[in-house]
Amino acid sequence: GENVEQHPSTLSVQEGDSAVIKCTYSDSASNYFPWYKQELGKGPQLIIDIRSNVGEKKDQRIAVTLNKTAKHFSLHITETQPEDSAVYFCAASFSNDYKLSFGAGTTVTVRA
């Protein structure tokens, strides 16, 4: 099955700086890569996703890049704010069954 690895496990940044989280996946058939933000005691919230026919996608301060050849994708958050502090999960799936395989998560702390 699919195996998704996520790094780093924790990330502390100064407010206004950028944060980058990287994930690798094992199954070359995976074609959908969402990113979720989870606050304490809440369910994951979809923040951005990318499909394998696209190399980069941006939504305001958030961007995701995908390198299919290397089988890795990254989340970039610019101009970080304290409310960006949360646990971020990457995931991968293939459209035959839509099952998401999640990374281990990255705890992001934005220092004011």
Toward another protein, which CB reaches closer, 42 or 60?
42
For residues 32 and 78, which CB has a smaller minimum distance to another protein in the complex? Answer: 32
Other CB atoms within 10 Å distance of the CB of residue 6: 19
- Strand-pair partners of 56: 65
> Which tokens go with 76?
């970039």
Residue placing its CB nearer to another protein in the complex, 42 or 112: 42
Going 93 to 24 to 69 to 48, the CA torsion angle's sign is positive
Least CB distance to another protein at residue 4 (A)? 9
The contact set with another protein (CB under 8 A) reads: 32, 34, 36, 41-46, 49, 51, 89, 93, 95, 97-100, 102-105
Residue type present at position 90: C
